[in-house]
Structure 1
Amino acid sequence: MNSPLSYCTIDTLGETLTEIFSSERVNIEEVQTVMENYKSSALDWKKYAHFDPHRYTRNLANEGNGRFNLIVLCWGEGMGSTIHSHSDSHCFMKVLDGSLRETLYQWPSESEKTKMNVIGTTDYTLDQVAYINDTKGIHRIENVSHSERAVSLHLYSPPIQTCRSFDERTSHSITCKTTFWSKFGERTPFSIPAENN
């Protein structure tokens, strides 16, 4: 395969990743290099970058070939995720704008309900790439700035349908369905589930 170009768009990044993910085996180092070689340009990703004043947003940019997807996450000032797992998926995160903090936690004991243990904390800035899967632990992502927004590009393989979300104080977890604020630049319809009669 040819070396990825440093000026590729999200569309050409998706094409390169589709080629990589046509194989059953995922080469983490190769995917990491491809993600690093995509250089952030707001002119490219801004059509996917939709902010919400109350929560961070997940915006689907590319569905891949069914073996991965690319999602643009938009983080308002001071916003963060829950502590969460990745449902046995590979997860790559690239900072497109601003900076983000990752706090990595040990998996809690199933038998004990205690405060969760922090393994470490890392701050990521423009164009840096992080990688996690469930064997490394579980994490929380936060925009710790109270004056600047942040944007990140996430690759999940295989695409995540659900994940476990954890309470830091008790390590209690619930299973959550993953949703998108928008798909391909268009707002997804908001619907309220019908009540059973």
Structure 2
Amino acid sequence: MKSQENIQQLIALLSQSSIEDYNAILNNFNFNSIDFKPFESWSQQKYTRNCLYRDVNFEVILLCWEKGQETVIHGHDGEDCWVYLLEGEMEEVFFNVEDQHLRKVGSQKVLPHQLTFMNDNIGFHKLKNSYEGKSISLHVYAKPIEHCVSYNETSQQFIERQLTYDTYKQLIVKD
């Protein structure tokens, strides 16, 4: 049975573990047991960032993507980022900076129940909903990210972006 409480189990596991264990936790967790509907919000204008949990060590954000919506090219302010695709299909495109120019270095298709990892040592990336319908992804950032460097493709310049949530439903972890 799907339950909102099961997300609290994930948060408790992350809270009690070191960052080195996050990959294994996220790869082995039963996300099918979680009812994400109460945390979803949708917009035709842009993907939405819906915070489920945040403390000084990490944040858990549910992103809801309409067809064709994508992030800007961005970094992660020195923090680690895991993305678990719950529904749909995503394309992740990777970039590096060479001689102060941004260069595409590869891409990958992300399918449901796949986990990806990104940090500034790897480079920059952007995510796009490549599915014919809606996609939903769960993002874990260790530590929380309040701003990041992004690349404006029109001006071809790097800019600092302040990150916000579209919804914030802080879950309380039960002991």
Q: Same fold (TM over 0.5)?
A: yes
Partner of residue 162 from structure 1, selected from 141, 147, 150: 147
Alpha-carbon displacement from aligned partner over 1:134-191 (angstroms, at most 9, x marks no partner) = 000100000023x311000000011001011103466411111100000118xxxxxx
Q: Amino acid of the residue matched to residue 17 of structure 2?
A: I
Q: Percent identity over the alignment?
A: 25
Is residue 9–residue 38 contact of structure 1 (8 Å, CA) maintained in 2? no
Q: Amino acid of the residue matched to residue 76 of structure 1?
A: E
Is residue 39–residue 127 contact of structure 1 (8 Å, CA) maintained in 2? no
Q: Distance in 2 between matches of 1:121 and 1:162?
A: 24
Does residue 7 of structure 2 align to residue 13 of structure 1?
no
Q: Amino acid of the residue matched to residue 137 of structure 2?
A: S
Partner of residue 86 from structure 1, selected from 53, 76, 84: 76
Partner of residue 68 from structure 1, selected from 58, 83, 97: 58
Which stretch shifts more, 46-55 or 11-20?
Answer: 46-55
Q: Distance in 1 between matches of 2:166 and 2:88?
A: 20
Q: Which has the higher strand share?
A: 2
Query: 1:17-28, aligned counterparts within 5 Å?
Result: 17-21=14-18, 26-27=19-20
Alpha-carbon displacement from aligned partner over 1:15-67 (angstroms, at most 9, x marks no partner) = 0000014xxxx31xx2111111223338521211111111000000111x411
Q: Which residue matches 2:96?
A: 106
**CA distance change for structure 1 residues 184 and 108 in 2, over 3 Å: closer, same or farther?**
farther
Is residue 97–residue 150 contact of structure 1 (8 Å, CA) maintained in 2? yes
Is residue 147–residue 163 contact of structure 2 (8 Å, CA) maintained in 1? yes
Partner of residue 45 from structure 1, selected from 36, 43, 48: 36
TM-score if structure 2 supplies the norm length?
A: 0.88
Q: Amino acid of the residue matched to residue 128 of structure 1?
A: Q
Report how many residues are paired: 166
Is residue 85–residue 138 contact of structure 1 (8 Å, CA) maintained in 2? yes
Give the number of the structure whose alpha-carbon radius of gyration is greater: 1
Q: Which residue matches 1:32?
A: 23
Q: Which residue matches 2:49?
A: 58
Task: Note the aligned Cα RMSD (angstroms).
Answer: 1.8
TM-score if structure 1 supplies the norm length?
A: 0.78
Structure 1: which 5+ residue stretches go unaligned?
1-7, 186-197
Structure 2: which 5+ residue stretches go unaligned?
171-175
Q: Distance in 2 between matches of 1:89 and 1:43?
A: 26
Q: Amino acid of the residue matched to residue 81 of structure 2?
A: C
Q: Distance in 1 between matches of 2:162 and 2:76?
A: 12
